[in-house]
Structure 1
Amino acid sequence: MDLSYWELKNWFTTIDYTIVGSGIVGLHAALRLREKFPESKILVLEKGILPQGASTKNAGFACFGSLSEIIDDLKSHSEEEMVNLVQKRWKGLQLLRKRLGDDTIDYKPYGGYELFLNTDENSYGECAGKLPLINEILRPLFKADVFAKEVDRFRFGGIQEYLIFNPFEAQIDTGNMMQALLKQAINVNILILNQQTVTSYLDKENTVEVALGDFSFVTKKLFFATNGFANALTNGAVKPARAQVLITEPIKNLDIKGTFHLDRGYYYFRNIGDRILVGGGRNLDFVTETTTEFGQTEIVQKKLEQLLKEVILPNQEFEIAHRWSGIMGIGNSKNPIVSQVSENVFCGVRLGGMGVAIGSLVGTELADLV
């Protein structure tokens, strides 16, 4: 870096708080720090042109877990842990809506649906059987039944007769959400620098030296909000998980509205206006999809197209308009990691594919560690 006196003075001198990652978590942490410390100097570093990872690449599901996903969580988490996870996701969604406003993020409470292929008889039977129990467990939180069986009115192909409906689920516009968060941050004098990769850091008891390649600066506190890229930081407690997504061209007379789940959340789709977005499929090849590299694979893309052709839009013409991918952060537990790494270094990571829901809460909790 060939920096001027002015650049060093305004951007890299007397920094109180530095946040690595300008996604949902990072910006919520920055905004929370600004609320707590109005006179502080806050710097956000982002390695991409736009927030990398999943914050600007997700499907825009305002959800807290499909029925099959919640049942699957109970196999590796206690009932109390599962309820706490759902509660955090729900609380996070309300925080996001309160901060940005429903109109800004294009919040549409169409509800969410889970469908089961004809070949998924075991999962379908398990979900139908345990639906009353899960409703009973979640009723204290939502004051109503969360899940109900509904006859398929969307004319999907090759699925079981009933869908599982969740009236508390909605969809948002991911791009609008992130633009609004960035605007809020800039409006309260939070400095954001893009295409800056932190290569190392050194906690010196009272300050932290942060290296950006061969250039370094000093900050009082350092926060990592890097989710799927936090493997080394967390000693392997966070693994990257790539999610591949595609979207169709506009479809005439499309009669599908809502957010939809398949196979414990491994596949998902929704309408965006008169287009269909569909994503998922990392369960087809976990090894290849455990990566921080963006991109698509033939096996996943073919499966997504097959779902479109045979299940979502049977007997209907469509064209693929665009494909992309995002990087999530997962681990053996779905509980996020919000912790102190060293004296002046903190992290808020491992969102478990629920960043839209839980990111605002994790960011707030991260800032509150100080």
Structure 2
Amino acid sequence: MNLSHWEYNTWFKDIDYTVVGSGLVGLSCALELRDKYPSANIIILERGVLPQGASTKNAGFACFGSISEILDDLNHHSPEEVLALVQKRYEGIELLRSTLGDKVLKYQQLGGHELFLDKDDELFEQCREELDRVNKLLFPVFNKQAFELYPNTFGFQKVKSNFITNPLEGQIDTGSMMAALLSKVQASGIKIFNAMEVSGFEEDDGGISVVTDNFEFRTEKLLIATNGFAGNWVDADLAPARAQVLITKPIPGLQIRGTFHLDKGFYYFRNVEDRILFGGGRNLNIKGEETQELGITDQIQTELERLLSDVILPGTSFEIERRWSGIMGVGSRKMPILKRLSERIACGVRLGGMGIAIGCSVGRDLARLA
């Protein structure tokens, strides 16, 4: 398609910044750019009708990392690096809350719990024995003990009688968050173009030529914020990771409140008012779920339903209302990839399943790189 005179002059002339991806990182990046450069011409390109990766598809956990995840991180990172990771997550959630406000986010600090299956004796004992060490390490972040033992008061079955809980963790409404960010971006005069996929780009002395599935245009700078999809353009330790999710219909009298992790964080669930949202199971087929294709599989959905019936809602009838998936960006290390690819191109990707916690701050830092 060739742009008309009117189309070019109105929407694609003299573009200063092009952000690829309208998820939490991309929108936060664009808002930071607008704050720094009030007169800049900024546009956002989004391949989907809605943000395509994980920002509108995640579970809405405002979390910092479960006890078993922290211990696993300590096996691969120095204590100073793990402290910095948790600090970044904590500050990122605070930035998100201050940017949009708790009322808009529908933020509730109901605590985050890690459950341990009856068969996981060794893991539970290890986590319990390491409580003091981890709490001392993370004290500078929270100024109090992060983790504590908490009794199983929700009637879960086939799990240990105690959870390990971080009472400072919370939950948000993902849809409300993204709707508010989109409104702020549009109100600031930033244009968002949906259903426009970037197929390539080429940099020269005068700027960057961006090729989409419809046409080509020029921009001064290009910022890539597509997380798990960025492997097409970023040569780095980055892989897509599909996360499958389901949500029940309303369950009368549901008493479960909070966010929960199970089986080393491979499963996660929470209440959404009087429903249960349940996701995970990627460990059942790691390679198969290393994909950029959205979709669900019988293998994982069947296991989610089994755990829902046997562990989370034993003796309670429920119906599944909706199923979906999202695409995360993961790698061998937990820190996001935030770097310049050239003088005019930078990226903020690989959020490692912690998009709610760090997406806003990664977007801000990506804008500052520009």
TM-score by length of 2: 0.99
Name the SS of the counterpart of 1:306 in structure 2.
Answer: helix
Deviations 1:226-250 (A, max 9, x none): 0000113222421000000000010
Q: Which runs of 4+ in 1 moved over 4 A?
A: none
Q: Partner amino acid for 1:319?
A: E
Residue 85 of structure 1: aligned partner: 85
Correspondence list, 1:215-254, <5 A: 215-254=215-254
User: Take 1:290 and 1:179, find their aligned partners in 2: how far apart are those partners?
Assistant: 28
Match of residue 353 from structure 1: 353
Q: CA deviation at 1:302?
A: 1.1
1:83 aligned counterpart, secondary structure:
helix
Cα contact 1:92–1:359 (8 A) shared by 2: yes
Shift of 1:2: 4.5
Question: Who is 2:173 aligned against?
Answer: 173
What 5-or-longer segments of structure 2 have no aligned partner? Answer: none
- Paired residues of 2:21 and 2:224 also in contact (CA < 8 A): yes
State the shift of 1:214 in Å: 5.6
Q: Distance in 1 between matches of 2:245 and 2:158?
A: 22
What's the counterpart of residue 132 of structure 1? 132
Q: Secondary structure at the match of 1:34?
A: helix
Opposite residue 4 of structure 2, the aligned amino acid is S
Give, in whole Å, the separation in 2 of the partners of 1:222 and 1:158.
50
Q: State the match for 2:11 in structure 1.
A: 11
2:59 paired residue number: 59
Q: For residues 133-155 of structure 1, give each alpha carbon's deviation from its aligned partner in whole angstroms, at most 9, with x where no partner exists.
A: 10000011110000000111001
Residue 287 of structure 2: aligned partner? 287
Q: How far off is 1:213 after superposition? A: 2.9
Cα distance in structure 2, aligned partners of 1:351 and 1:170: 19
Deviating more after overlay: 230-239 vs 152-161: 230-239
* Equivalent residue runs for 1:261-272 within 5 Å: 261-272=261-272
2-structure distance, mates of 1:203, 1:4:
24
Name the % identity.
53
> 2:308 is matched with which residue?
308
In the other structure, the counterpart of 2:333 is 333
Contact 2:196–2:214 under 8 Å retained in 1: no
Aligned to 1:160: 160
Q: Which residue of 2 aligns with 1:365?
A: 365
Q: Please state whether the residue corresponding to 1:43 is helix, strand or coil.
A: strand
Shift of 1:215: 1.7
SS at match of 2:6: helix
CA distance in 1, matches of 2:185, 2:168: 29
Asked if the contact 1:205/1:344 (under 8 Å) is kept, the reply is no
> For 1:314, what is the secondary structure of its paired residue?
coil
Q: What is the rounded CA distance, in whole Å, between the counterparts of 1:88 and 1:140 in structure 2? A: 12
Structure 2 SS opposite 1:47: coil
Change in Cα spacing, 1:205 to 1:89, as seen in structure 2 (3 Å) is farther
User: Conserved in 1, the CA contact under 8 Å of 2:46 and 2:196?
Assistant: yes
Letter in 2 for 1:221: K
Q: List gaps (5 residues or longer) in structure 1.
A: none
The whole-number CA distance in structure 1 between the counterparts of 2:126 and 2:300 is 27
TM-score by length of 1: 0.99
Answer with 355-364 or 233-242: which moved more: 233-242
Question: C-alpha separation between the residues in 2 aligned to 1:10 and 1:92?
Answer: 35
CA distance in 2, matches of 1:334, 1:263: 19
SS in 2 for 1:133: helix
Determine the structure 1 residue equivalent to 2:34.
34
| Displacement after TM superposition at 1:4 (Å) | 2.7
Corresponding residue number in structure 2 for 1:185: 185
User: Which region of structure 1 is more displaced relative to structure 2, 202-211 or 19-28?
Assistant: 202-211
Structure-2 separation of matches of 1:290 and 1:131:
33
Please state whether the residue corresponding to 1:200 is helix, strand or coil: strand
Amino acid paired to 1:261: H
- Aligned residues: CA RMSD: 0.9
Structure 1 distance, partners of 2:179, 2:269, is: 23
- Tell me the number of residue pairs that the alignment of Structure 1 and Structure 2 aligns: 370
> Amino acid of the residue matched to residue 89 of structure 1?
R
CA distance, structure 2, for counterparts of residue 193 and residue 214 of structure 1:
12
- SS of the aligned residue for 1:52 comes to coil
Counterpart residue identity of residue 38, structure 1: P
Contact 1:205 1:343 survives alignment (8 Å): no
After the TM superposition, which of the residue ranges 1-10 and 16-25 deviates more from structure 2? 1-10
The one-character-per-residue Cα deviations of 1:167-211 (angstroms, maximum 9, x if unpaired) are: 110000000000000000000000000000111101113411100
Of 21-30 and 255-264, the range deviating more from structure 2: 255-264
1:25-61: CA deviations, max 9, x gaps? 0000000000000000000000000001000000000
TM-aligned CA distance change 1:295 to 1:214, over 3 Å: closer
Contact 2:242–2:292 (CA under 8 A) maintained in structure 1: yes
Match of 1:72 in 2: 72
Name the CA distance, whole Å, in 2 between partners of 1:195 and 1:30: 18
